[in-house]
Chains A and B, each alone.
Chain A
Amino acid sequence: MQHLRMLPYSGLCFSRAAPHRIPAVGHASLPALSTFQGATGVAFVRDYYMSYLTVAAVGILAAVLFGSMLGVARLLAPRNMSKDKLSTYECGVEPLGDLWSQQQARYYIYALLFVVFDVEAAFIFPWANIMGSFQQGVAILVEMIIFILILAVALLYVVRKGLLRWS
């Protein structure tokens, strides 16, 4: 991937060759690992979008498959509606009260905690990606440990507050 650094579009490519951590066995003679390898300039960008187009094709394939299965089911299935059949299931009795019942606010805590840790992950991912290629490894390691510890304090706070207990 060395040559990609010279390309104007190299910002699109997250890959970084790490020869010191990829075993020497066969690394020099790896096959074209990336679709982008060897492509230059406009072709590189085209391949980049092409790969997403391929994934989109899989999605369309899934949609077609499930659409057609539902279509076949629609053709085969009988149609005999009645009022009772369409009522919401509640163990056989008439449904009582509002269908969208109230939920415990407790679940809310998990949503908040998730946001904290997902944002954390969003920051750690780019860090982990370039970690090994930095000269100032110790400095960025200490910085990230401070960041993680701050978040650990948040988790500790929640635990000490007893918000994860259910009694």
Chain B
Amino acid sequence: MEKDWLDHGITILVVILIFTVQMLITTFLVLFERKFVAWMQVRIGPNRAGPWGLFQTVADALKLMVKEIFVPRGADRTIYMLAPFLTVFPAFMAFAILPIGPSFEFVHGDKTHVVAIQGANLNVGILWLLAMSSVAVYGVMLAGWASGSKYSLLGSVRASAQVISYEAALSLSILPVLLWTGTLDLQEIVAAQSGWNWYAFGLLLIPFVSFFISGMAETNRLPFDLVEAESELVAGFHTEYGGARFMFFFLAEYINIMTISAVAVTLFLGGWNGPWVPVQADPAGWQVALGVLYFFLKTFVLLFLFIWIRATLPRMRYDQLMSFGWKILIPVNLVFLMVLAGLVVMQEVGAWPAGFFR
């Protein structure tokens, strides 16, 4: 099946579409967070810019863009300017390989074209996600280091230690999915969860919870936001940033949250699977649309969970954070991995009924 210009054109269109949708959702995510947190604290929240405060983020971005751009005296110029981009970049790259909806076919001329609602289907899927979450550490680390400020440096050293600690837990909680499906291909992982066989509803609930917690630590969200603990570190690694560059860090945080939620949906919550969207060769148009809707709906539920937890829990102490990661999350994941491997082997030899606990 040779690819022609139409296939490449479709790919480019899909990439641009996914990118735009991601940016749009991020923009409104900032507003949703402020609204939800406000309601949970019995406030009104942003309500001036546009109806229901709908343009608040746009207004904020515009305001930040007309602020003066400067590089502080003690900073390492090149790295200081590069760091904001390094924090956003991996989040986009990770999102680009997630399958957002079911693939469908259409006939043009005498050829059948397959359209996958996914930027690119890398055959190393999961490994790519892990690689990108590792790269994300550099942005925070370099931003703090290059600012040449004591607060920034302290924040970034903390951040690096925290993020690499939870990185280990994150990769260990992805492993069970890989073990259970036996493939790194994200499309196949989603297909394996068809029907109601979502991994989070079965045995893999433990890795899902662990993934979510580590994801929260990776993105420096509230119970784990020691990186920018205002009461101790001014603003952590982005103390010396202002104007448009600060805006990038701000956006990056939300893009990262969105990406982590979407990855969790793909790996544990069945991706685009749901009622009336079967895994089949040629889904109808409305089924494709419904699948995409399911994907974003599930992502939104997880995003709401992020916001809810932020409004509920206080910040952890640094030693508690570290010992939670190393003494609880990682050992639990290791033990679970061994138990699951045992179950897989038992299925192979027939000592455990196949399909049980799927």
Cβ contacts B293-331/A at 8 Å (1 or 0 each): 000000000000000000000000011001100110011
- Assess whether B175 is in contact with A124, with CB atoms less than 8 Å apart: yes
Q: Is A161 an interface residue (CB 8 A)?
A: no
| Residues in B neighbouring A78, C-beta threshold 8 A | 66, 68
| Residues in A neighbouring B197, C-beta threshold 8 A | 23
Give me 13 A-to-B residue pairs in the complex whose CB atoms sit less than 8 angstroms apart, sorted by A's number. A15-B184, A25-B279, A30-B281, A32-B103, A33-B188, A34-B185, A59-B92, A66-B85, A72-B65, A121-B175, A141-B341, A144-B341, A152-B334
Number of interface residues, chain B, beta carbon within 8 A: 113
Question: Distance (Å) between the CB of A59 and the closest chain B CB?
Answer: 6
Give A contacts to B, CB under 8 Å: 12-16, 18, 20-23, 25-27, 29-36, 38-39, 43, 46-48, 50-52, 54-55, 57-59, 61-63, 65-66, 69-70, 72-74, 76-81, 85-91, 95, 99-101, 103, 107, 110-111, 113-114, 117-118, 121, 124-125, 128-133, 137-138, 141, 144-145, 148, 151-152, 155, 158-159, 164-167
Question: Distance (Å) between the CB of A98 and the closest chain B CB?
Answer: 9
| Residues in B neighbouring A14, C-beta threshold 8 A | 123-124, 183-185
Among residues 80 to 95 in chain B, which have CB atoms less than 8 Å away from a CB atom of chain A?
Answer: 84-85, 88-89, 92-93
| Residues in A neighbouring B341, C-beta threshold 8 A | 128, 131, 141, 144-145
Question: Distance (Å) between the CB of A156 and the closest chain B CB?
Answer: 9
**3 A-B pairs closest in CB distance:** A73-B244, A166-B319, A54-B120
Give B contacts to A, CB under 8 Å: 1-3, 11-12, 15-16, 18-19, 23, 64-74, 84-85, 88-89, 92-93, 96-97, 102-105, 114, 116, 119-124, 127-128, 130, 145, 147-151, 153-154, 157-158, 160-161, 164-165, 167-168, 171-172, 175, 178-185, 187-188, 191-192, 194-195, 197, 234, 239-240, 243-245, 247-248, 278-283, 318-319, 322-323, 326-327, 330-331, 334, 337-338, 341-342, 344-345, 347-349, 354-355, 358
User: Roughly how many angstroms separate A74 CA and B145 CA in the complex, as a whole number?
Assistant: 24
| Residues in B neighbouring A128, C-beta threshold 8 A | 175, 178-179, 337, 341
Contact of B73 among A15, A20, A86, A117 (CB under 8 A): A86
Known: A61-B19, A148-B334. A51 touches B122 (CB 8 A): yes
- Assess whether A34 is in contact with B121, with CB atoms less than 8 Å apart: yes
User: Roughly how many angstroms separate A129 CA and B136 CA in the complex, as a whole number?
Assistant: 25
Contact of B74 among A16, A62, A99, A164 (CB under 8 A): A99
Contact of B354 among A20, A26, A39, A133 (CB under 8 A): A20
Known: A13-B123, A34-B187, A76-B66. A148 touches B338 (CB 8 A): yes
Instruction: Give the dominant DSSP class at B's interface.
Output: helix
- Assess whether B349 is in contact with A31, with CB atoms less than 8 Å apart: no
Known: A25-B278, A55-B93, A124-B337. A89 touches B121 (CB 8 A): no
| Residues in B neighbouring A124, C-beta threshold 8 A | 175, 337
- Assess whether B331 is in contact with A138, with CB atoms less than 8 Å apart: no
- Assess whether A22 is in contact with B168, with CB atoms less than 8 Å apart: no
| Residues in A neighbouring B345, C-beta threshold 8 A | 131, 137-138, 141
- Assess whether A69 is in contact with B334, with CB atoms less than 8 Å apart: no
| Residues in B neighbouring A62, C-beta threshold 8 A | 19, 85, 88-89, 92-93
Question: Distance (Å) between the CB of A41 and the closest chain B CB?
Answer: 11
| Residues in B neighbouring A81, C-beta threshold 8 A | 70
| Residues in B neighbouring A117, C-beta threshold 8 A | 168, 172, 330
Known: A30-B279, A33-B188, A61-B19. A87 touches B69 (CB 8 A): no
Question: Distance (Å) between the CB of A102 and the closest chain B CB?
Answer: 10
Known: A29-B280, A51-B121, A125-B178. A22 touches B191 (CB 8 A): yes
Question: Distance (Å) between the CB of A108 and the closest chain B CB?
Answer: 9
| Residues in A neighbouring B92, C-beta threshold 8 A | 58-59, 61-62
User: Roughly how many angstroms separate A77 CA and B242 CA in the complex, as a whole number?
Assistant: 12
| Residues in A neighbouring B145, C-beta threshold 8 A | 100
Contact of A90 among B149, B164, B282 (CB under 8 A): B149
Question: Distance (Å) between the CB of B338 and the closest chain A CB?
Answer: 6
Question: Distance (Å) between the CB of B216 and the closest chain A CB?
Answer: 18
- Assess whether A22 is in contact with B192, with CB atoms less than 8 Å apart: yes
Contact of A77 among B19, B184, B244 (CB under 8 A): B244
| Residues in B neighbouring A20, C-beta threshold 8 A | 347, 354
